[in-house]
Structure 1
Amino acid sequence: MASSSPAPLETMRKALLLQRDGKIARARSLYEKILKKEPGNVEATNLLGLCFLEQGYPKRALNLLERAVRLAPQEARYRLNLLDCLEKLDDLPAVLAATEAALTELADPAPALLHRRALLLRRMGRFAEALPAYEAAVRADPDNVETLVELGQTLSLAEKYEEAVRVFEFALTSAPGHRLAILSLADAFNQIDRASEARDLLRARAEAFNLERDAAYHLSLANSYWGSGDFRLALEEADRAMALGLVGVDSHIVRGKALHGLGRFAEAVEALDTALALDPQRHNAALNLGYSCLAAGDLERGWALAERRVEARLKDILIRHFTTPAWQGEPLAGKTLMVWNDQGIGDVLRSSSMLAELAEQADRVILECPSKLVPLLARNFPQIEVRVRRHDARGRPVGAEDYDVQSSLGALPMYLRPTIDAFPRHESYLTADPQRVRELRARPPLNGPRPKIGLSWTSGKQTTLRARSYLTLADLLPLLQLEGAEFVLLDYTDRSAEIAELQAQTPFTLHRWDDLDLFDDLETAAALTACMDLVISANTSAAELSGALGVPTWRFGPVTGTVLLGQENPPWHPRTRYVRLDPEGAAADIVPTLAADLRSWLDAGE
């Protein structure tokens, strides 16, 4: 400190003691006396600024702390105090500018300043800049686990979850019981469909937490149980977190999702309503509430909330950007409407049930969809123009927007199916190509007298949750060993290895033809499906196709099946029977029911 006589030093000592003891006003008075005698005393200037800051006067502190930095530009402490003051003023750009100035002007900047810059960039949502800033902070202080964990959290915020996992795992090698590193790693696992690893991690590191008081631990475990499909345990852990006082949006969301998974839709709606009321901008709360409303049969509200799927950044959703306005249910007379697929093949097949109605309302309807759907839909709907999607990698239209309004297929039910009564009672809305059907029926055993049963038991799109609703071919042996039927593979994925492995152990017959492409040639897939007397399928596009063709279908899936809309069977497909899986059991538990029902069906000659 700058002082030339013992008196100011003694006054400074007294002021420091007073400030330490919380007697800020008295300390401030002494610092002011010192500065009257020695205006250039930088330490008194700095400490007086801190007094004003502690008393809640950051604007008065700012001039003093800026002056201290000017008087001693190489003193890092003064720089940090100035940053604290700017933080109190909630001026993050000014804090960042002052931090950058300190890093530039200090001869040997402290690691704390590097960390400060990284943290600021993260708080400002500038993750691309925050990541290299954190890397610099980690290099400057490699033993600081807290900074390393913050780097991992920033990677998660930037949706670089795999990299975040590696950082958290490295941090835990030096600090195995680091609470925040464990919770953050579990969250990263949950984000990349590794919920079972999150669950196992939290169980294995439970000693790092006070389980009787740590609500965040129970909430994280609830999320991992939900992601693993253990809805009952997810609900229990969510309730524990809330009992410990963690009653925010996230707790209500995971509780609502767990109730939804258990088929308790009214309770799920209540929980998710609470979540959305707490934060109306939480799009995932709105989306999940929409799903629960639909499952409970509240279509009008459910469809509207489900539109938040874009803002919720739902995986596998195609997002497109237009200058043409979105159709919002207004009259279409004299207009051209372009509809486009925003989800998968099965969703397009189901949504095509509404195309004929649109063609009756608009002067012209265009459907943009994946190329493999074009021949099937163009033949079935000659009154509309079916073409391949025209957009670039960013979802922007390629070429002129030759339409007046546009809509995703996923948004159509909001206007065309607002109630169950709005669903037409047609048995089918697609037909297979008659010539292809005749050609296939000439092949044995399709030309024989025994009933043909089409099978599809799994999907090409697997996640931990989805996998719980699928079967293996081995699970279906009780059906395949029934006499009196011909079983035909309708699964569009390559199941040859699974079939060969099982046939090496157990004799059975499942007909398939190597020259038929059921993945890309949907005209052929439709023709083969039309040859079936019955289709037994998981929730896949095979079930959507058989339902659209009006082929009798037994579709098995979770109680949360999005096609049900509060009904016993899918209103989209009157000839489809929906067989619900027990949400707390294994999918294979449904096989005895399927086998018994199929035996009865065969015996009845249906």
Structure 2
Amino acid sequence: MPSLDLILQGSEWLARGRASEALHCAEEALRQEPHDADALFLLGAAHYRDGDLAAAEARLKQAIQANGKVAVFHSTLGNVYQDRGALPEAVAAYRRAIRLKPDFAEAHNDLGTAFFAQGDPVRAAESYRRATELRPDHAVAYANLGAVYRKLGMPREARHALQRELVLRLRNFFRLKKRHRSLAELAHEELRLGNPGLALRIGRRALEQDANNPRVVALLAAALRQEGSLEEAIGCAQRAVELRPADARSREQLGSLLLKAGSAQSALPHLEECVRLQPRSPQALLALAEAHMALGDREQASQLAQRSSALEPKDATLWVRLGELLSKQGLAAQAELAFRRAIELDPAAPAAWIRLAGLLRLGGRLQEAKTCAEQAVALDDESSAALIALGLALREQGRTSAAVARFEQALRLEPQRAQALQQIGEILHYENKIEEAERRFRDGLKSRPDSIALLVDLAMVLGDQMRYAEAFACLEKALAHDPRAAPALAAKGILQDLTGREAEAESLLRSALQAAPQDADIGHSLASCRLRHWHFDDGWKGFELRRHKENFIGRYRKFPFVEWQGEPLDGKSILVYPEQGLGDEIMYASCIPELVARARHVAVECDHKLGALFARSFPGCTVTARLRTMANDWVNHLEPRPDYQVPMGSLPGHFRRRVEDFPQHGGYLAPDGRKVAAWKRRLDAIGPGPKVGLSWQGGVGHTGRARRSLTLEQLLPLLRLDGVHFVSLQYTDVDGEIRDLAARHGITVHHWQGAIDVYDETAALVCALDRVVTVCTALVHLTGALGRPAIVMVPFGSDWRYGAQGERMLWYPSVRLIRQGAIGDWPPVIESVRRLLQG
């Protein structure tokens, strides 16, 4: 007899309480297929029914090892643990089952029993209530709920629950029971138990008997979706719609599958027909809203979402989906209400707590986010999603060590979880531990060689090391798995742009955006590409998408003023606030004079290092220099009170829309004259000859440090110029390198740390020098904004701020760019700089 028939026969014997016959069937099936997870489970369940707990535990663990994604395997192991009195292990097993299948009523009921045995009737009641919501005909859950209510001193609730139990038992007693269930019914039962693999095996057998049974075809589509076979699932769902075109569930199933596959346009007519057939179905309305959202129709999506929520569904899962949709629409307050409603309906489900934690984190409410994530972990300390949510909150708080510990914990629980490994790698990447980040990504790919996310992350790390051939190989592998994978297309586009292939880069980024139209990172990357090539009109428009990126610093700035969109500022006051690094603050500040000319008053917030410099340079403005923190109440004391607010990075979109809009200024930042004079005296003491400021290292790992940086050894052709005195303006720790240069070559590079530590002193020193030679770093912006001459050594595939070609830097007329002609080819650049200095 084939193994499937043996498993079905054994399951039937087990249902009748004949454990020995079930054991025989399981053993025979295992003789045919020794590693069949379903046969192992049947053997374990039969041992459990026979009272052999040790044998049951061993076999169930083997079944889970063979296939750990089946909910009923874990819940049955939980029953074994509970019968053994191992309650913590039982709770953990039930939670694993619920994590795999959140609507698994039996697991919720059994979890309630474990909580009750642990002396926690409150959580037991929550679990029993959830079981009855999921299965209103669950008589045992009602009986258990009644018992718990009695324990909690709630007689009225206990009476209602027990009356419901009695009704259900009588109904079941008088209901005609079938001895033999159909294959379709058996397959449906396996789906309910969280075993889509066995459901698929049974469903295929049923289809052999009746190829046009719409129920079986739809069931196969559901099982295939859970098994990850999306294309085959869509085929079955399409067949189900052909067989029953007026069936709303079939329409919704097909529409949801097409939506999941990224075919929102194809999904739309099926979901519209589903809503026409079931106009008061919250699920149907929400699915249609999700389709409209995927197509970029936010208004229609919002209307449908409102209709769905107005029906007040009692399904917590639906409220979570609604919250996710509202969050994508940028409706944070409404999304928060939806997640909190889900928590009200099912406070013991970690999913809503996790989503709420993410929403609060993105809104800058980090402590609240951390609290919600901690609650999710308390509900299920083996949930890798909850641990990742907590790690993300900790990371945003700057507690990277604690965050990594949570990500590592998630990774131990679920080694295949790419997100945890990604977060660890990204933290290492941002902390400039490039080699270690690369190692972690490669380690992850050993167990998940087809992970597109990990391949993309590894490619970007390799790109930051200028190992472009290896990077492109990673991306080609990712795209071989999914040619429409937006992250891989975008990463390839970014690297193509860095390697000088503008047309290919833009085409790839547009393809990526077409595949993921709501992805702000991709849209921002495309905008940066456009800006690099001086396409300012659509470039600045797309640049606004930076504000929707998850790592956008400015998203925490919650000021009580209207966002300025270019309205007339006559008689109005406006607050300008920073959002990026020092160099960007200086560059965007070039627009402040134009804002001053239009507004009654301008208030400027800036980094604490720039306070003295900005206050001196913009005397008509109220300049507030401060460390960036979550505390924004300081704006309430501004006088006059601002009418508008605008992030600095949005100013060029109003004032730099054409090449002609960039002013030919002689410097818009004003140094401290006394400090400049003091530095000139100090420089004169060095001796006669030109004094040249020098910076040779730029950025950190994830901002292209390898691409942008040089060593003093590489700069020897400059440093050996007769009569030229070089002064270090390098902000990183370079004392050792300067000493080595002196010892090895007898060349002195002067370095005064005090000039580096205080930015106002740096500005004064720059003005005292004859010129500056630098790589791409914040010093470029400072020197250019002061109107001082600078020569910038620009790598091939430079950042958008430096443009794509030519010697001119639009932002700073005093800056001259010397570009690499090929990737990593510095000698010709250094020779050009040497000639300029010599001349």
2:262 is equivalent to residue 190 of structure 1 = no
Cα distance in structure 1, aligned partners of 2:467 and 2:672: 44
TM-score (norm. length: structure 2):
0.53
* Deviation (angstroms), 1:415: 0.1
Cα distance in structure 1, aligned partners of 2:787 and 2:317: 66
Cα distance in structure 2, aligned partners of 1:11 and 1:474: 79
1:276 maps to 513
2:801 maps to 563
Cα distance in structure 1, aligned partners of 2:140 and 2:351: 24
**Could you give the per-residue CA deviations for residues 471-528 of structure 1, whole angstroms, max 9, x where no partner exists?**
23344333222212111222345543442344333321122446x4333251x32232
Of 242, 262, 267, the residue aligned with 2:504 is 267
Determine if contact 1:390/1:399 at 8 Å carries over to the other structure: no
1:457 maps to 696
The amino acid that maps onto 2:835 is S
**Could you give the per-residue CA deviations for residues 522-571 of structure 1, whole angstroms, max 9, x where no partner exists?**
1x322321232221112223221211222221112442323224452310
Q: CA 1:73 to 1:83, structure 2 compared with 1: closer, same or farther past 3 Å?
A: farther
Report 1:542-553 matches (<5 A). Answer: 542-553=779-790
2:832 maps to 597
Q: CA 1:329 to 1:266, structure 2 compared with 1: closer, same or farther past 3 Å?
A: farther
Determine if contact 2:438/2:458 at 8 Å carries over to the other structure: yes
Q: CA 1:84 to 1:367, structure 2 compared with 1: closer, same or farther past 3 Å?
A: same
2:646 maps to 407
Of 747, 751, 756, the residue aligned with 1:508 is 747
1:375 maps to 612
Question: What secondary structure does 2:692 align onto?
Answer: strand
Cα distance in structure 1, aligned partners of 2:372 and 2:192: 23
Cα distance in structure 2, aligned partners of 1:391 and 1:398: 13
Question: What secondary structure does 1:572 align onto?
Answer: coil
State the percentage of identical aligned residues: 28
Question: What secondary structure does 1:368 align onto?
Answer: strand
Cα distance in structure 2, aligned partners of 1:236 and 1:319: 37
* Deviation (angstroms), 1:416: 0.3
Determine if contact 1:196/1:225 at 8 Å carries over to the other structure: no
2:316 maps to 93
Cα distance in structure 2, aligned partners of 1:62 and 1:203: 42
**Could you give the per-residue CA deviations for residues 261-301 of structure 1, whole angstroms, max 9, x where no partner exists?**
32433333322223333333322122222211211222122
Report 1:425-574 matches (<5 A). Answer: 425-445=664-684, 448-459=687-698, 462-468=700-706, 469-493=708-732, 495-513=734-752, 516-522=754-760, 524-558=761-795, 559-568=797-806, 569-574=808-813
Of 141, 150, 163, the residue aligned with 1:69 is 141
Question: What secondary structure does 2:779 align onto?
Answer: helix
Cα distance in structure 2, aligned partners of 1:219 and 1:95: 32
Of 475, 484, 490, the residue aligned with 1:247 is 484
Q: Relative to structure 2, which stretch is displaced further, 300-309 or 312-321?
A: 312-321
Q: CA 1:489 to 1:130, structure 2 compared with 1: closer, same or farther past 3 Å?
A: closer
* Deviation (angstroms), 1:199: 3.1
Cα distance in structure 2, aligned partners of 1:436 and 1:61: 74
Determine if contact 1:446/1:452 at 8 Å carries over to the other structure: no
Q: CA 1:73 to 1:327, structure 2 compared with 1: closer, same or farther past 3 Å?
A: closer
Determine if contact 1:321/1:396 at 8 Å carries over to the other structure: no
Determine if contact 2:462/2:471 at 8 Å carries over to the other structure: yes
Cα distance in structure 1, aligned partners of 2:621 and 2:377: 55
Cα distance in structure 2, aligned partners of 1:513 and 1:203: 42
Report 1:186-335 matches (<5 A). Answer: 186=422, 188-193=424-429, 194=433, 196-203=435-442, 208=447, 218-219=455-456, 221-226=458-463, 228-245=465-482, 247-314=484-551, 317=554, 319-335=556-572
The amino acid that maps onto 1:573 is Y
Q: CA 1:227 to 1:71, structure 2 compared with 1: closer, same or farther past 3 Å?
A: farther
The amino acid that maps onto 2:800 is T
Determine if contact 1:492/1:542 at 8 Å carries over to the other structure: no
Of 155, 169, 180, the residue aligned with 2:416 is 180
Structure with higher helix content: 2
Question: What secondary structure does 2:646 align onto?
Answer: strand
Cα distance in structure 2, aligned partners of 1:120 and 1:322: 28
Cα distance in structure 1, aligned partners of 2:655 and 2:752: 39
1:356 maps to 593
Cα distance in structure 1, aligned partners of 2:351 and 2:793: 49
Determine if contact 1:321/1:397 at 8 Å carries over to the other structure: no
Uncovered stretches (5+) of structure 1, i.e. residues with no partner? 1-8, 18-48, 51-59, 98-115, 139-146
Question: What secondary structure does 2:614 align onto?
Answer: helix
Q: CA 1:602 to 1:423, structure 2 compared with 1: closer, same or farther past 3 Å?
A: closer
Question: What secondary structure does 1:407 align onto?
Answer: strand
Q: CA 1:541 to 1:216, structure 2 compared with 1: closer, same or farther past 3 Å?
A: closer
1:386 maps to 623
Question: What secondary structure does 1:556 align onto?
Answer: strand
Q: CA 1:318 to 1:334, structure 2 compared with 1: closer, same or farther past 3 Å?
A: same
2:581 is equivalent to residue 344 of structure 1 = yes
Question: What secondary structure does 1:450 align onto?
Answer: coil
* Deviation (angstroms), 1:339: 2.0
Question: Higher relative contact order at CA 8 Å, sep ≥6: structure 1 or structure 2?
Answer: 1
**Could you give the per-residue CA deviations for residues 209-239 of structure 1, whole angstroms, max 9, x where no partner exists?**
5x6x765664454354345553443333222
TM-score (norm. length: structure 1):
0.71
* Deviation (angstroms), 1:342: 2.2
Q: CA 1:323 to 1:95, structure 2 compared with 1: closer, same or farther past 3 Å?
A: closer
Cα distance in structure 2, aligned partners of 1:475 and 1:294: 31
Cα distance in structure 2, aligned partners of 1:549 and 1:133: 52
Cα distance in structure 2, aligned partners of 1:123 and 1:314: 18
2:42 maps to none
Cα distance in structure 1, aligned partners of 2:647 and 2:586: 14
Cα distance in structure 2, aligned partners of 1:95 and 1:382: 55
Report 1:5-20 matches (<5 A). Answer: none
